[in-house]
């Protein structure tokens, strides 16, 4: 890592403790992508922070293509005030979160996905494409706002669960509390099940398996569609359904 040179736009940043984001950005990001994601995600967080006043400030920077993050703490008195406000807001909002997801957030996301799918990119004029792109960026800010309006209460709930479990049982195992909530259905589990079902269909066709083993991902779909094996057609249809925006949890066995 001796050749990993760092140029600080602000020399004061060199005094902060930075950690690389290996969860959201494990691979290097191109500047164009970073410019969009930084503004979109930052705006989404900014809107959510008006609802949930978490202590401190988060910052991220791009160094040689990699994303690094740091936390800047608030003064102690401000931290205590924010924590008190946050606890009160979470107690009011967490019980209502499942309803808001079902009745507000999920339908809103589904409407946007349907509208984007219905837009004919090839038939649009240049001005229409630019307008569509600008509208998509604004909606993506809203999507990130929804993301954090959900994730922040969920993270708060896990901390409450962990503290309660330790207080009631005396067990300091950090993983033990989450065994209590394992097995409940969620979108991630539904997606994983759908992907497993697609994989099971692939195993039913030697020709499909051969294509996967001998070609890069970017060239798979044309070759899969050209297969004459009758068992390949259900797999291609299942894969199309899985890859369709908003449809990854609708696949049935």
Same domain? 169 vs 125: yes
Strand 66-72 versus strand 57-63 pairing type: antiparallel
Residue 250 lies in a domain: no
3-state percent breakdown (helix, strand, coil) of the chain, nearest 5: 65, 5, 30
Same domain? 24 vs 60: yes
Q: How far is CA 169 from CA 157, 160, 183, in A?
A: 18, 14, 22
pLDDT over 90 at 32, yes or no: no
Whose CA is closest to 211, among 189, 235, 191?
Answer: 235
pLDDT over 80 at 15, yes or no: yes
Same domain? 210 vs 168: no
**What are the tens digits of pLDDT across the range 42-67?**
899 999 999 999 999 988 888 898 99
pLDDT over 60 at 102, yes or no: yes
Same domain? 158 vs 194: no
**What are the tens digits of pLDDT across the range 120-142?**
999 999 999 999 999 999 999 99
Same domain? 152 vs 204: no
Residue with tokens 């649009």: 124
For 41, the domain range is 11-72
Same domain? 28 vs 119: no
Q: Which residue has the higher pLDDT, 33 or 250?
A: 33
DSSP, res 103: I
Q: What per-residue confidence (pLDDT) applies to 246?
A: 56
Residue 251 lies in a domain: no
Sign of the Cα pseudo-torsion (215, 219, 225, 226, in order): negative
pLDDT over 60 at 247, yes or no: no
CA distance 228 to 86: 59
Backbone angles phi, psi at 172, to 5 degrees: -100, 10
**Structural domain ending residue among the three candidates 72, 92, 116:** 72
CA distance 24 to 5: 23
Q: What per-residue confidence (pLDDT) applies to 252?
A: 38
Same domain? 59 vs 127: no
Using pLDDT thresholds of 50, 70 and 90, give the confidence band for residue 73: very high
Q: What per-residue confidence (pLDDT) applies to 45?
A: 92
Same domain? 60 vs 80: no
Q: What per-residue confidence (pLDDT) applies to 236?
A: 87
Beta bridge partner(s), residue 73: none
Residue 237 lies in a domain: yes
Q: Which of 7-21, 97-111, 159-173, 198-212 has the lowest mean pLDDT?
A: 198-212
Q: How far is CA 16 from CA 10, 21, 71, 78, in A?
A: 11, 15, 9, 20
**What is the mean pLDDT of the segment spanning 223-229?**
87
Using pLDDT thresholds of 50, 70 and 90, give the confidence band for residue 250: very low
pLDDT over 90 at 190, yes or no: no
Whose CA is closest to 153, among 87, 234, 71?
Answer: 87
Same domain? 115 vs 82: yes
Q: How many domains does the chain have?
A: 3
Coil, strand or helix at 32: helix
Same domain? 38 vs 132: no
Percent of the chain with pLDDT over 90: 53
**What is the mean pLDDT of the segment spanning 57-86?**
92
**Structural domain ending residue among the three candidates 130, 161, 179:** 179
Residue 123 lies in a domain: yes
Same domain? 145 vs 238: no
CA distance 131 to 139: 12
CA distance 88 to 82: 10
**Structural domain ending residue among the three candidates 179, 206, 227:** 179
Residue 134 lies in a domain: yes
């Amino acid at each position: 890592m001796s050749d990993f040179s760092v140029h600080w736009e602000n020399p004061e940043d060199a005094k902060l403790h930075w950690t690389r984001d290996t969860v959201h950005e494990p691979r290097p990001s191109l500047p164009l992508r970073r410019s969009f994601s930084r503004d979109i995600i930052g705006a989404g967080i900014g809107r959510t922070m008006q609802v949930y006043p978490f202590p401190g400030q988060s910052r991220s920077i791009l160094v040689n293509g990699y994303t690094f993050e740091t936390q800047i703490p608030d003064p102690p008195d401000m931290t205590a005030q924010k924590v008190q406000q946050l606890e009160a807001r979470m107690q009011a909002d967490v019980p209502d979160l499942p309803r808001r997801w079902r009745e507000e957030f999920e339908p809103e996301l589904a409407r946007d996905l349907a509208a984007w799918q219905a837009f004919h990119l090839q038939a649009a004029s240049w001005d229409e494409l630019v307008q569509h792109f600008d509208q998509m960026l604004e909606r993506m800010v809203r999507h990130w706002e929804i993301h954090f309006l959900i994730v922040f209460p969920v993270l708060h709930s896990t901390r409450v669960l962990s503290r309660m479990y330790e207080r009631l049982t005396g067990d300091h195992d950090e993983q033990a509390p989450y065994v209590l909530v394992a097995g409940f259905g969620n979108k991630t589990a539904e997606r994983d099940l759908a992907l497993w079902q697609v994989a099971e269909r692939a195993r039913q066709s030697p020709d499909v398996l051969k294509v996967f083993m001998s070609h890069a991902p970017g060239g798979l779909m044309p070759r899969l569609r050209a297969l004459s094996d009758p068992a390949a057609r259900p797999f291609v249809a299942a894969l199309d359904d899985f890859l369709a925006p908003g449809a990854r949890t609708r696949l049935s066995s």
